[in-house]
Structures are given as C-alpha cells and as structure tokens.
Structure 1
Amino acid sequence: MIEFIITLLFIVAPIGLTIHEMGHTGIGLFSGSKRSVLTIGLGPPIIRIKLHKLHIIIHALYFFGGYSSNEKNSGFSPLQKILISLGGPLANGLFASFLIMTTRSFVNEPFIDLLIMFNLYLAVINLVPFRLGRRKSDGYRVLQTMFRSAG
C-alpha cells in the first residue's frame, strides 16, 4: 500500500499534472500566446527551462499540483479561452487513450494501469464545473467564458 501511495504521489501525479498543463500551454501557444508558463509544484524553483515562448518552472515540491498561464497582447477570443481550458483534460484523455491502445495487448503493468486511471481521472474531474476558493476547474472556466460571451 505504501508503494502505491509513493508511486502515485511522486511519479504518476506529477506526470499527469505535467501532461495536463502542457495541454493548456500547447493550445495557448497554438492560439498565438506571446508567452506561456507551465509551473509544476510549490516551493523554491529548482529547474527553469525557456523554449522560445514556453517557460517551464519546476519547484522543489514538484508533487504539489501545477498551473499554467498564457499571455497574448490582444487577449484571447472566447473560443480560444474555451479551447485553452479544454486543452488540459483533452491532453490527459489522449495520453490515457494512447497508453490503452499501445500497452493493453502486451503489457500487464500496475504502474501503467495507475497512469491510465490517474490521467482519466484528471480528464474527467477537470471537466466538472466547480470552484474551491479562488481555484476554478477547467469546466467552470468554460462555462464562465460561455456565459460572459453570451451576455
């Protein structure tokens, strides 16, 4: 049981969160972002990578969540905001689907199963509209953008 928790916390969750945030920044860059920042974890930064418009920051407590931001001079259109919000869950769903299609027939590995399940969890739970304090789910952001642009 302790191996499961350690694997989930220190390996699987950071991989899934990185894929999720890469989905947001990828769509942001595709939508004309002048600067996209992908941040993983909390605490002091230990790794900083700059790849043209993409900035990646990994903090010492890399297993404590992640977030991303995209900046564009003219701002993003409502459709672009919706697509950026959906980019994270889409990336998790595509990654899980890729693992299912490429590993299920020849690999019976609990680690892969955990990676698939966690990414499917991230894909689904982030589409559910909810707000916890100042944190908003991707689904919440999509609805918020839709209602703002409709009114």
Structure 2
Amino acid sequence: MNISLLLYLLFVVAPIGTVLHEAGHVLGAKSLKADHVRLTIGSGTIVNTFIIRKVQVRIRAIFFLGGSASSERKNMYKPSELIWIALCGPLTNGFIALLLYILYMIYPSSYLLLLLLFNLWIAIINLVPFRFKEKQSDGYAIVKVLTKR
C-alpha cells in the first residue's frame, strides 16, 4: 500500500465508514421514535457540537478514530427494537458496500475499492459478538438482548 492510500484510509475512508455506520444506528433509532439521539464521531476532546434534524452531533479531535450513537425514548425500547437499532449500523455499511461494488465494476479504482472493502469489513466485524473494555460490537449487543431473561 502506498502512502497516499494509507492516508486516504486513515483520514477519509475510516471517518466516512464510521459516520455511515453510526448514521445507520441513528436512522434506526429515529424510525422507532427516539426522543433524544446523539451521534459522536472520533475520540478525544470535543471540538464541535451541532444539531441536525433533532440529532445532537459531536465531533471529537481525533475524528478518524471510532464513533458512537446513542438514543433514549420515554417508553423503553422492546428487545426487538434494540436488535433493530443494533442491526441498522452493519446493514447500512453492507448496503453502501454493495453500491460501491456496483460503482467499482463501472469505474475501477484503488480508492473506490478501499472504501468498498472498509465498509464491508465494518459490516461484518460489527456482527461478530465481542466486547473490549467498555466498547461492544453490535453483535454483542444483539446477543446480550437475546440472552437476557
């Protein structure tokens, strides 16, 4: 991998893939009439906060390193609704990967391929149940809901 592709991966592909993934969770929560929704991009100090369509967006200094989405509703979510919200992130990345694949077949490019593969990777890896410190995958969240008694 050359340096331009590496920089593109770090500063363009990773943030775009993360924003799309977390936006998927936001759309899932909004579809279930969430009262409060927050989208956070990156880690570190908050550098900007704004509201788009009743969604609080926070951008952190290290914008290319992770993200999260959270939502609250006056009436508690049902287990099936929690699963839906968790699935919306990986489904969004999977759908975007499919669109990028079609585009890549028409306009082959290393940059497009990297964006496609990263979105596919996010879709797949987030369905695998795992937890690392206080972070958990969407697959882990789903398994937790399914095994709760």
Q: TM-score, normalised by structure 1?
A: 0.93
For residues 19-41 of structure 1, give each alpha carbon's deviation from its aligned partner in whole angstroms, at most 9, with x where no partner exists: 00000111001111011111001
* Aligned pairs (5 A) from 1:1-151: 1-101=2-102, 103-148=103-148, 151=149
Secondary structure of residue in 2 paired with 1:82:
helix
- The one-letter amino acid paired with 1:115 is L
Give the number of aligned pairs: 148
Deviation at 1:59, TM superposition (A): 1.4
CA distance in 2, matches of 1:143, 1:44: 32
How much has 1:42 moved relative to structure 2? 1.6
Q: Which moved further from structure 2: 133-142 or 47-56?
A: 47-56
TM-score between both structures, scaled by the size of structure 2: 0.94
Whole-angstrom CA distance in 1 between matches of 2:93 and 2:54: 22
Partner SS state of residue 90, structure 1: helix
Segment drifting more, 80-89 vs 3-12: 3-12
Secondary structure at the counterpart of residue 104 of structure 1: helix
1:49, CA displacement in angstroms?
Answer: 2.2
**Matched residue SS, 1:118:** helix
Q: Deviations over 1:89-119 (max 9, x none)?
A: 0010001111112x13321111110000000
Counting aligned pairs with the same residue, the percent is 36
Distance 1:143 1:65 in 2: 22
In structure 2, what is the Cα distance between the partners aligned to 1:6 and 1:30? 35
Once the two structures are overlaid, the 10-residue window that deviates more, 53-62 or 74-83, is 53-62
Structure 1 residues 42-87: Cα deviation after superposition (integer angstroms, max 9, x where no partner) = 2232332212321111112101110110110112110010000111
Deviations 1:100-149 (A, max 9, x none): 12x1332111111000000000000000001111211100100100111x
Residue segments in structure 2 that go unaligned for 5+ positions in a row: none
Partners of 2:31 and 2:47 lie apart in 1 by: 27
**Aligned to 1:105, what secondary structure does the other structure show?**
helix
